A and B are shown apart, each in its own frame.
Chain A
Amino acid sequence: MRFAEYVITGWVLTGLVIGGYWLWIVRRIRRAERSQGVE
């Protein structure tokens, strides 16, 4: 594949951004639900 470094970086970056954002939201939701349950 030509320009593989750009293509792979772009696709990996897309996956990391979307996956990282999803993980951030899910962890915060779990934390918020746990604190709600404790009170």
Chain B
Amino acid sequence: MRLLKPQVSRVLGWLALVAVVVLALFGLWGAPPDAVQSDAQRLMYVHVPSAWIAYLAFGVTALGSALWLWPRTRADVWDRLAGASAELGVIFTALTLALGSLWGRPVWGVWWAWDARLVTTAVLFFLYLGYLALRRIPTSPESRAKRCAIAALIAFVDVPIVHFSVNWWRTLHQQATVFNPELDAKIHGVMAFTLWFGVLTFTLVYLYLLDLRYRLLALDEDREERELRAAIAERVAAERPPTPTPTPADRAPGERAPAVPVVEVAPQ
């Protein structure tokens, strides 16, 4: 079971790889250094797309969960999609935090600050880490899908809080550059191109990895089901009582005893 056709997945993988190389060329050499932050700002081309993918991944998880909970659209595919996307979201959130820390050290002078954006992002990371732990608790597939779908929808409440935290509170983290309240991107030229190209590149990487992770999840579920069936069959066979040997008392009146095989003994 796959999300995409094998050929489409392969093309997507190669496109993502080429896009990563082009992004590295622009991000590390093509784009000019920032007037204030100098070259440290080059981390923006991976930090911002990582954060965007985390939002997208958790959005897909929430959508998949809602579609699973809705009786008319309930199908295993939505639960599997939610699980695969959540794992990618956790990885990209961790990457966002790590890259932000690396960027914060030369610019702010600290690796970490108890800032609203940073704290809400860390909360988001731990919320979805808990979601992934919930998926691993052994139970019936139906029960797991239901509790995970509810947990995913609750956890998603933190996503808009993370995004708007820089507007709602006075923070050390800069305000939104692209998706600001005026929707007026304060970034120009090659820098803007590189940032948008980074968002496109990471989206391609996300879609490619999502397809692979979905496939692995489907294969794992298939294996678990086969193992469960084999274990049940083994248990049933072990618990079946052995066939008793009939005694003369068990015989019905008039019934003859079963023929005893004649064994010929050779003379000494």
Contact = CB atoms under 8 A, between A and B. Distances in A.
B43 interface: yes
B92 to A, nearest CB: 9
Given A10-B47, A25-B216, A39-B226, A17 B91 contact: yes
A2 B107 CA distance: 12
B226 A9 contact: no
Interface string A1-38: 11110110111011101100110011011001101100
A11 B24 contact: yes
Contacts of B213: 25
The majority secondary structure among interface residues of chain B is: helix
Nearest to B213: A25
A13 B100 CA distance: 12
Contact of A10 (B43, B220, B222): B43
B209 A21 contact: yes
A11 B46 contact: yes
Contacts of B190: none
B176 interface: no
B39 A2 contact: yes
B38 A25 contact: no
B106 A36 contact: no
B63 to A, nearest CB: 22
A36 B219 contact: yes
Contact of A14 (B38, B40, B95, B226): B95
Given A6-B103, A21-B91, A26 B212 contact: yes
Contacts of B216: 25, 28-29, 32
Contacts of A9: 102
Interface of B: 20, 24, 27-28, 33, 38-40, 42-43, 46-47, 50, 91, 94-95, 98-99, 102-103, 105-106, 205, 209, 212-213, 215-216, 219-220, 222-223, 226
Interface of A: 1-4, 6-7, 9-11, 13-15, 17-18, 21-22, 25-26, 28-29, 32-33, 35-36, 39
15 contacts: A2-B39, A3-B39, A6-B40, A6-B105, A7-B39, A7-B42, A7-B43, A14-B99, A21-B91, A25-B209, A29-B216, A32-B216, A33-B219, A35-B223, A36-B223
Given A3-B39, A7-B40, 18 more contacts: A2-B38, A3-B38, A6-B102, A6-B105, A6-B106, A10-B46, A10-B98, A11-B27, A13-B99, A13-B102, A14-B99, A17-B91, A17-B95, A21-B91, A22-B212, A25-B213, A26-B212, A35-B223
Nearest first, the 10 A-B pairs at minimum CB distance are A32-B219, A3-B40, A2-B38, A3-B106, A10-B102, A10-B43, A25-B212, A14-B46, A2-B39, A1-B39
